[in-house]
Amino acid sequence: MSETPMDTDAPDDFEKKKKEKEVEECRQLLQSHKPSLISQVMSLDMLLHLKEHVVVDKDKAKDIRRQGRGHNREINQAILAELMTRGTREFEVYQLGLRKMNLNLLADLLEQKHFTKMMHVFEPVSKGLGHHWKHLSVELGMAGIVPKIESKYVRVREQALYFLLVWEETAGIGATINRLVEGLELCGMKQIVLYVKKVIQGKNVKKGKKRKKGSGNKKHFLFCSKTWGKKKNKRFQRIKREKSSIDRHQEVTYAGHHSLKMKLVQINMECFYSVEP
């Protein structure tokens, strides 16, 4: 009896769906552990590793570096964005790169298909905890797991992160951010507590950019005091010396603010000096 087209198509459809499911699972794993991956991975080393294994070519690597604008986190984000469009082979190559960098915990999490919903909190907390994760384990009622974690991972940061993940899995619905905050407060980790509370409130916890020099509108002053601070402007320094006899208590007023009263001594030269606020 000959096979019908329906019989031959069924195995192909099954394999196709299975492959699609595996690819989707890989992408979900990358998304789940994204906070740690963009924070811990050395982006340029990973990019070189991906080039060596023909995951990206020279032009794509340049494009990823350009997107990252020279910042490690941004380059890592661009790498992950590229991997989210690729398949299981590229995922396995990336996982191998983590092993080469001795990021064994992250490699294990991807290999064992471990998912977490709290990595955005666990990553910064584990970075700040250091050896205090052992104290935290006591406060969270998991002191007995310390020897096992120390024997599994050598790096303190990996130990701290792994402990938090084990606590999440063990405590189940009891592993809440509020419970974690309570434990951190008992450990005296005030700075980490403040950070976590900002995460809970959905606030931006990134450091603000410093204001550039020269920004904003300039204000013009009528200079009339011998005690003005040192300035780099040579012309100002010369004028200051010429006015050294002026009383230090004389008033300085904003040009244009006619409502302010001022009393000026007679001088041969008036100079408007422009300073930035």
pLDDT of 38 reads 95
Q: Indicate the residue among 87, 111, 135 that finishes a domain.
A: 111
pLDDT of 247 reads 44
Domain limits for position 145: 119-201
Cα dihedral 25→45→50→41 (10° resolution) = 10
CATH of the domain at 51: 1.10.533.10
pLDDT of 241 reads 59
The backbone torsions φ and ψ at residue 253, rounded to the nearest 5 degrees and listed phi first, read -130, 155
pLDDT of 231 reads 47
pLDDT of 12 reads 78
Q: Are residues 32 and 94 in the same domain?
A: yes
Low-confidence ranges of the chain (pLDDT < 50): 1, 207-211, 213-232, 245-277
Quick one: tokens of 86?
């690729």
Q: Indicate the residue among 84, 111, 138 that finishes a domain.
A: 111
Q: How far apart are CA 236 and CA 218, in angstroms?
A: 17
pLDDT of 14 reads 82
pLDDT of 235 reads 57
pLDDT of 34 reads 95
247-276 b/e with 16+ CB inside 10 Å = b?
A: eeeeeeeeeeeeeeeeeeeeeeeebebeee
Q: Indicate the residue among 111, 135, 163 that finishes a domain.
A: 111
pLDDT of 252 reads 44
* Residue 95 resides in a domain: yes
Q: Are residues 60 and 87 in the same domain?
A: yes
Query: With a threshold of 0.85, does the pTM exceed it?
Result: no
Question: Which residues, other chains included, contact 200 with Cβ-Cβ below 8 Å and sequence gap of 6+?
Answer: 177, 181
Structural domains of the chain, count: 3
The residue type of 5 is: P
* Residue 216 resides in a domain: yes
What are 234-259's pLDDT values in tens digits?
Answer: 555 665 555 554 444 444 444 444 44
